[in-house]
Every structure is written in structure tokens, then in C-alpha cells.
Amino acid sequence: MSTTPSPHVTNNHRATTGISSLPTDILESHILTRLDGQTLASATCASVSLSAGQHNHQLWSNICHSAWPSTAGDRISKIISAFSDDKNGPLSFFSQSFPLPGPDPTTVHPPPQRPTSSLPVSELISAVDIYYRNKSILTKTEETETTNDWFRCWPFRIDLLDPKDVVPTQIPQPDDEAMCTALMEDMTLSWILIDPVNKQAVNLSSHKPVSVHRHWLSGEVKVCFVSILGVDGVVVQFGIVVNCGGSEDGEMQVREVTMEVEDMDGKHLNGRDSMVILQKVMEGKRGSGVDRVEEARMRHRRYQEMKRERRERKSRVKWILDILSLTVVLSIFVALFFVFFYNFLLKTQKLNNS
């Protein structure tokens, strides 16, 4: 007698042994909780059985707090919970804060955008997390008032640490370029700017550094993270700098963490202009989140190339204007010389005739 199961039995067996046969509580408690945010977002879109994870508020809240411990405070948690009308604010917050802002302004000319429909922003909340080899160095939140004249008129700058604050780390003091290069892969930073009024957020960090510079004399190390943004044809750079100095035990200390904004000419934007750009970026699209480190570094390289070409173009224009100015001056000088010489000849001729 044949022991081969019938196709009907085989199909039923396969159907009942799939992931859809698992109880919902097993899926949510033992499978979905083991996934990171990016993997979970992909899984919930690819499988009907896992789609329930899209509506699990607590699951996504835990993912946000795990990815960014700075968001675990009571006030920020409450703000994040209200990010979406479908009762899953943490999922909306993650989808805004994980990927890079898009599209890439170094390859796609930013089209003109409609006037922002957001309410005026009275406050920005910075949620910052710095890691070295997946170990937390610094977790901090900072509230910045955006309505006072000082913020609006002076260059946009957020200082995360007070001048006297020093954060010890276990990072060895680099003494050569090889150690600085290694630091570019070992350190990560997330700087999420949160608009609590309009329930919007954007991550303005390249996740890993785009450059690491060591001062030859003092030994201080400057680690730079960036985000290249484009709005209404204007391309700017939000730069984050982590300044680290040495200590007596040979390990670095974080002494300064700042964010500033500059345009293509290297000019620092004030708070008012920076907020116009930020609000439109927060309302805009996001990237896919795939290869965000390489994408951010590529954007930075192209941005630096655009700045170089802009400087060369302005230098050529300046050179042409200088040549034209010199030609005009020489022409005037020659004309005056001939007028003077002509008058001199007339006077000489009159004297000879007399």
C-alpha cells in the first residue's frame, strides 16, 4: 500500500505549518519583539499574518525607545503617542525619524513647494543619542525656544552641553589617522528634531560620521555628522559636530555637541530661515531607510563638490569682473591722457604762433 500523502493532504499540511498558523500572542510576544524597526516594517507589509504589528502601539513604542533611548522620557513619550490619528503614534514617529529626508537635493533639483500648512513652531525638542561600538556614550534631550528674537535673528545653533560639562567615554585617544578612520565606523549618532505642536520629526544625522579630524597639536578630535537638505531650490547643510578631548587616563571626553546650518557659500543661516527649511522638510517625504549611512556620505561628497564648483564659478565671474573693471580704468586713463596731450599740443602751437 502506498504511503505517499495525497496532494490535498500535503497542501493542507503546508498551510497549517506556515507562520499564519501561529497564535497571535506568540507572534507578537516571541517573534515581532525580536525584530528591529526596519525589519518589522518590511515584515508587516509583506505578510498578512504579521500586519497586526502595524497596529501594536506598545510594540512600536518599545522599538522607538530601544533605538533612541532619549525618547523614553515621559514628555516625549506622550508627544510621540499623539503623532498619528490611528492610535499608533510610535509607528508614525519611527517612519519619520529612521530614514533620511528625501529626495536627495544633490541629484534632484528641489521643486518649489507650497507654503507650509503647519502651525507656527514655538519649540523644538532635540532627542540625541551617541554610541561607540553599540555602547551608549550620551543620551540627552534639549528644548529650544524658537519664538524669541535671539533665536530668530542670530545664527541657528543648538548646544547640547554646557561649557563646563564633560562626558567621559571609553574611546581611546586617537594618535594616528588609522584610529581616526576606525572611529568613522565605530561611532554612531542620532539627532532627532521634534516639533511637538504639529507632531512631526526628522532625524538630521548621517548616523555615522562623514569625517573625523584630529588637531595635530592639541590632539582634540572633531567628529562630524551631516544632513543635506533642499527646499525651494536652496540646498543647505545641517552639521553636527562632536568635539572630544583627551584625559589623563588616555580616553577621550565629549566636551561639545553642536548643530549649525550653513548654505552653499558657507554662510550660517539664522534661526528664522532655518525654521522655514525645517518645517518644509518635516512635511516632506522620507527616503527608504536602506543604506542610509552610505547614502548620507554620498550626499555629503556631492554637496562638497557642488560647493567647490560654486566657488570656482564665482571665482571665474569675479576674475572677469576684475578684468572688465581694470579695462575700464585703463580706458579712462588713456582717454584722459590723450585729452591732456591734445591740450598740451594746442597750447604749444599757440605759443609758437605768437
Looking at the fold, whether 149 and 285 belong to one and the same domain comes out as: yes
Copy the grid coordinates of residue 30: 516571541
User: Which of 169, 264, 260, 265 minimizes the C-alpha distance to 221?
Assistant: 169
Q: Does the residue 348 lie in any domain?
A: no
Looking at the fold, whether 195 and 256 belong to one and the same domain comes out as: yes
Domain that holds residue 221: 99-309
Looking at the fold, whether 27 and 126 belong to one and the same domain comes out as: no
Are 124 and 193 spatial neighbours (Cβ–Cβ below 8 Å)? yes
At residue 140, φ and ψ (nearest 5 deg) are -155, 150
Q: Quote the pLDDT of residue 215.
A: 87
Looking at the fold, whether 113 and 245 belong to one and the same domain comes out as: yes
Give the domain-ending residue among 293, 309, 325: 309
Q: Does the residue 174 lie in any domain?
A: yes
Q: Does the residue 314 lie in any domain?
A: no
Query: Distances in Å between the alpha carbon of 334 and those of 323, 327, 340, 343, 349?
Result: 16, 10, 10, 14, 22
Q: Does the residue 59 lie in any domain?
A: yes
Looking at the fold, whether 130 and 165 belong to one and the same domain comes out as: yes
Pairwise CA distance, residues 165 & 290, whole Å: 35
Low-confidence ranges of the chain (pLDDT < 70): 1-34, 41-54, 85-87, 109-118, 354
Looking at the fold, whether 164 and 304 belong to one and the same domain comes out as: yes
Q: What is the DSSP string of 172-226?
A: EPP-SHHHHHHHHHHEEEEEEEEETTTTEEEE---BS-SEEEE-TTT--EEEEEE
Are 258 and 185 spatial neighbours (Cβ–Cβ below 8 Å)? no
Looking at the fold, whether 262 and 123 belong to one and the same domain comes out as: yes
* Unique residue bearing C-alpha cell 506568540: 26
Looking at the fold, whether 145 and 277 belong to one and the same domain comes out as: yes
Give the domain-ending residue among 95, 117, 144: 95
Q: Quote the pLDDT of residue 10.
A: 47
Q: Quote the pLDDT of residue 347.
A: 83
Give the domain-ending residue among 54, 69, 95: 95
Looking at the fold, whether 123 and 87 belong to one and the same domain comes out as: no
Q: Does the residue 325 lie in any domain?
A: no
Q: Quote the pLDDT of residue 31.
A: 66
Pairwise CA distance, residues 287 & 233, whole Å: 19
Copy the grid coordinates of residue 115: 507654503
Q: Does the residue 232 lie in any domain?
A: yes
Q: Does the residue 187 lie in any domain?
A: yes
Looking at the fold, whether 261 and 281 belong to one and the same domain comes out as: yes
Q: Does the residue 323 lie in any domain?
A: no
Looking at the fold, whether 116 and 256 belong to one and the same domain comes out as: yes
Domain count, the chain: 2
Looking at the fold, whether 171 and 193 belong to one and the same domain comes out as: yes
